[in-house]
Structure 1
Amino acid sequence: MSGLAVLCLVFLPYALGHYLSCLLRTVNAVLAPQLVSAAGLTPGDLGLLTSAYFFAFALAQLPVGIALDRYGPRLVQFLMLLLAALGTLAFAGSGDFVQMLCARTLMGLGLAGCFMAAVKAISTWISPARLPSVQGYLIAAGGLGAASSTLPVRLFLQHADWRWLFILLAAACVIVGFLILLLAPTPPATPRKPFNLGVLAEVYRHPAFRETAALVLVPHTVFFGIQGLWIGRWLTDVGRLPEHSVAWLLYLGMAAVIFGAIAVGMVTEWAAKRGADAITVAGVGVALFVVVQCGFVMSYRPSFALLAVLFTLVGTITGIEYTIVAQAMPPALTGRASTCLNLLIFTGAFIVQAGFGQIVGLWTPDAAQHYPAAAYQAAFLVLVLVQLPGIAWFVWRRRSPARKPVESLL
């Protein structure tokens, strides 16, 4: 296929699916006041409701990964997007917390394969040397979706109810599903491995998979769990910013994901030409990401706006683990490799997003229902502490003379 054909028939249709997935994943950060008002949600309820998306993602990873390897991304993604449309439409008609929770879970199930299907498709039609940049563009498409869930959604709410927003997004899921079905090519047949625990164990035992997950997995769960909800609540409760200012900062932060994702791909390829492997780039980036989170722990008020943007900009480095894993695995296992990684990421993101709300809820809000800065400082401190062992282990491995370079494992 020509480069133009790959762009129009492979990258763009699947990128649109990833765009919708990220939009619906993060939209609650802006809609939180409306959802709290509609269903009387506590911080714990809000965290559980939003994180149900990640829980559904985790549940779907194994069956979706198997289906991608067996039936290909084209058919699987079409059917999943129809399911996502049903869940999104159900969310629009929800009237209480339980209904919202069930609808968002169904929504997450339907969108669980968007990124994996895209990775499976582009890794089939694009050379391994170009994967870091192209996957960076894919993550940037997701960043565009996340950015669309902020200021544009805020502007939409000035003219229509939030329920109409979900009705339109349900229609978008159907349209993108048919675009993939009608435009995307069927990938060439590859040797199939039957599903069993040995196949999954083969993925988890792979040295590159273990080393990548040990360093990047927890920061990735923190990025997903906090970006999609709690940055906005932190700006409201601790920064005391009005809703329009929060929406604007969230928009800048999500827009930064686009530039960050593209930059990660370019830096990774640049570093590879100079002898530095992708895991080294990941190690430096993760360390910077933890430093940014320390700013939240210190709660230095003049830097609130900067911290909110830096969190999403620097946090995009965590997406590099998909590139490392995709390059490390044979084509017949790329779907299941992404599945294993996503299973860990989305399970962790569910724990982070729900757990963060439980920690904040330990404090008593003021009359305006704002939670104190100490609540958020404690929650961010817990996140920093759980990420430090991975960085320490990576540094120790780098200093160990017995360590094999990652590039020899790929």
Structure 2
Amino acid sequence: MRNEAQAVPAAVTNRFSRIFLPFAAGYFLSYLFRNVNAVIASELETDVGMSADQLGLLTGFYFLAFACFQLPLGVLLDRFGPRRVESLLLLIAGAGSLTFAAGQELATLSVGRALIGVGVSACLMASFKTFSQWFEPHRLPLVNGYMLACGGLGAMSATAPVEAILGVTTWRVLFVGLAMACVVVAAVLWWVVPEKTNMTKAEPLRRQVAALFHILRSSVFWRFAPAAMVFSGAPMAIQGLWAGPWLRDVAELDRNAVAQHLLLLALATTVGFVAWGTLAERLGRLGIKPIKVAGAGLVLFLLSVMVLTWQPTGNVLPVWLMFGLCGTSGTLLYTVISTQFEVALLGRVITAFNLMVFLGAFSLQWGIGLVIGFWDAGPGVGYFATGYQVCFGLVVCLQGLALIWLLWPRDSSVSRRRPDY
């Protein structure tokens, strides 16, 4: 009995160190890359001479490339396994980081940013698939929540710590260092993470592609897709770039204060990832479905964006903390939609859903830049508050429509039909 009792903690520790931590390191880098432009935006504006729409487009290339690779990624994960796929893709992210570090104009910087997007595109989906293979189903919401929290730590590192680094070196040196980190994590994933040997044999490629099209034709999938775009996509678009300029132009904070606010915003995001996963797990024991928990969180997030649209004066930190805390509730939709399809389709379902999330993030991030550009206050000055008000108001409208579409009652008898392919 004693040996068995000792074996359980040992197994948990082994899975944590050899499975969870390597994938968490990759996702940490993914989120750091995603949010770092919010801090170096001023450098890009001055060093490269970027306008608001160019800055939005450049930063959004991460999301666009990320999104475009999601559909083939789902097939690759199901066919070759998450360990191999993520290891090789992180090398591409490293190459993209070096390209970005060397870029002198929009075209080169965009190529680098796109390569980074492709390179980190598997960091979350590969971990979700791996965890589903190694952890008990009832533990997945909590394990996934901790994984998402590691992304939040990456977002935190992209704020005040990056600002401190910029005080002693340049953003180009920073990206060289990030490229080296990508190579190290790729090596750890390749050599340390164990292979799951008792998995079923991969389907033929033709059948895999047919199943992917089945998912994209499903009415169940399109029930969740709009919410993915404007609820999960909005925090990425705003926190990843436009939160910093908003704090500078609307709240009129200096650089250090902006970095501190972004750090606390990232901290709220990190707490939110864990809190929503924990809350969904515990309420699930009481018979409350995750879709209801997610719906409550999405309503709160919509309210936070409404308040930011109103542009309160004085201390804006509580509103941004609510934005970060509630914006993570959309991650529960991954759990919900994954239960609507067969287990064999999990990799393709999640990556197709992720496609919608990142298409939404790209569209919102670039679109906000286009609209704000109409209220340009001048070179090096920033943008008028009216531009942000218009953009955030449009986001609120889109989120309201998506929420109605998501929560509108439907016949549940057709939600889990066996695919015909």
Q: Same fold (TM over 0.5)?
A: yes
Q: Which runs of 5+ in 1 are unaligned?
A: none
Q: Does 1:370 align with 2:382?
A: yes
CA distance in 1, matches of 2:330, 2:122: 19
Q: 2:44 is matched with which residue: 35, 49, 60?
A: 35
Separation in structure 1 between the aligned mates of residue 407 and residue 349 of structure 2, nearest angstrom: 25
Query: What is the CA distance between 1:219 and its match in structure 2?
Result: 0.7
User: Does the residue aligned with 1:365 lie in a helix, a strand or coil?
Assistant: strand
Cα deviation, 1:272-307, whole Å, max 9, x if unaligned, reads: 111111110111100110000001111111242222
User: Aligned match of 1:388 in 400, 408, 413?
Assistant: 400
Asked if 1:105 corresponds to 2:114, the answer is: yes
Q: State the distance in 1 between where 2:395 and 2:323 align.
A: 13
Shift of 1:206: 5.4
Q: What is the match of residue 289 of structure 1? A: 301
Shift of the 185–405 alpha-carbon distance from structure 1 to 2, 3 Å rule, reads same
Contact map agreement 2:228 2:353 (CA 8 A) in 1: no
Alignment partner, residue 182 of structure 1: 191
Which amino acid is the alignment partner of residue 17 of structure 1? Answer: G
Structure 2 Cα separation of the partners of residues 3 and 206 of structure 1? 37
Which digits, 9 at most, give the CA deviation of each residue in 1:212-249, with x for residues without a partner? 43544421111111110001110011111000000000
1:299 to 297, 308, 311: 311
Deviation at 1:189, TM superposition (A): 2.5
Instruction: Give the C-alpha shift of residue 10 in structure 1.
Output: 1.0
Structure 2, gaps ≥5 residues long: 1-7
* Residue type at the aligned position of 2:408: W
Q: CA deviation at 1:128?
A: 1.4
The 3-state SS of whatever aligns with 2:84 is helix
Q: Matches of residues 228-243 of structure 1 in structure 2 within 5 Å?
A: 228-243=240-255
Counterpart for residue 49 of structure 1: 58
Task: Tell me the CA shift for residue 27 of structure 1.
Answer: 0.2
TM-score, normalised relative to structure 2 = 0.92
- The corresponding residue for 1:19 is 28
Deviation at 1:64, TM superposition (A): 1.6
1:150 alignment counterpart = 159
- Which residue is equivalent to 2:328? 316
CA deviation profile, 1:60-106 (whole Å, cap 9, x unmatched): 11222111111101111111011110110111111111111111111
Q: Deviations over 1:336-374 (max 9, x none)?
A: 111101111111111000001001011131575221111
Percentage identity across paired residues of the two chains? 37
186-195 or 41-50: which moved more? 186-195
1:114 aligns with 2:126: no
Q: Residues 238 and 370 of structure 1 are in contact (CA less than 8 Å); yes or no, is this contact kept in structure 2?
A: no
1:342 matched to which residue of 2? 354
**Partner residue, 2:87:** 78
| 2:4 aligned residue | none
Count of matched residue pairs? 406
- Please list, as runs of the form range in 1=range in 2, the aligned pairs for 1:186-201 lying within 5 A after superposition: 186-187=195-196, 188-193=198-203, 194-195=205-206, 197-201=209-213
Alignment of 1:55-66 (within 5 A): 55-66=64-75
Provide the C-alpha distance between the structure 2 equivalents of 1:9 and 1:342, rounded to a whole number of angstroms: 26
Give the alignment's Cα RMSD to 1 decimal.
2.1
Task: Name the structure 2 match of 1:159.
Answer: 168
Structure 2 CA distance, aligned partners of 1:84 and 1:253? 25
**Alignment of structure 1 residues 128-147 onto 2, 5 Å:** 128-147=137-156
2:233 aligned residue: 221
Give SS of 2:403's match. helix
Change (3 A) 1:245 1:408: farther
Distance 1:392 1:218 in 2: 13
Counterpart for residue 363 of structure 2: 351
Q: Distance in 2 between matches of 1:47 and 1:367?
A: 16
User: For the structure 1 residues 284 and 245, does the alpha-carbon distance in structure 2 shift closer, same or farther, using more than 3 Å as the test?
Assistant: same
Structure 2 match to 1:90: 99
Q: Which amino acid aligns with 1:66?
A: V
